[in-house]
Amino acid sequence: MNLELSDKVVIVTGAARGIGRAIALEFAREGANVVITDVIDGSPVVEEIKKMGRKSVFIKADVSKMEQVEDLMNKTAEIFGKIDVLVNNAGINRDALIHKMTEENWNSVINVNLKGTFNCSKVAAKFMMEQKYGRIISISSVVGQMGNIAQANYAASKAGIIGLTKALALELARYGDITVNAVAPGWINTEMTRKVPEKIMRTFIERIPFHRLGEPEEIAYLVVFLVSDLARYITGQVIGINGGFYT
């Protein structure tokens, strides 16, 4: 199955580790050139991609800041001449029961997860509309579909991504071959998940039919497929990948 991603230019936000890193590496394996962006200073993922024979750069950006997002997109276009794919992966959590959740914790999660997805999609869409081609994939969450205790801010941000995805899919289709989809992972073996107390995590794993966490690479395979021409008739969809935890 040829995904035909050679020389596509892909931006992956929050790509320094976890799911974002796995997505970036999988795109490189399929022949794409990848822009790694995160709030940290640099990432070894760039060198990993270069060793595969693909082009990669790191551009530091806080997706919650529009001016930094505009700089990210403009630099990408200057270096590579186009933006084919945007993967909105950057996300944080600040968990607390609602009566203990601070306004700061609410705002920070909404600003990164939801506003950040809006910022990046808004600017990338301009490039995609001009070239009449583009793919936007946003990483939502099973929590955005079903809710979760002590995650009102995170659930709201991820549910918002679903609504944003559906609206953008309708808007952008009129400008050409532009698709917009969301992926909703369940419990995945990442640094964020490993911070969950072991007793609580065991309870979640017992509810997963496969009785294991998903791996970041399993999310990456789906994202890369959705970007390919094999999935060009798929838009406005939210695809869960959670091992049957939520159906």
Return the number of other C-beta atoms located less than 10 Å from residue 183's C-beta: 25
Among 133, 154, 175, 233, the active-site one is 154
Burial class (CB in 10 A: 0-12, 13-18, 19+), 227: buried
What's the CA gap between 185 and 29, in Å, rounded? Answer: 22
Instruction: Answer yes or no: 154 catalytic.
Output: yes
Return the number of other C-beta atoms located less than 10 Å from residue 79's C-beta: 13
Catalytic residues: 154
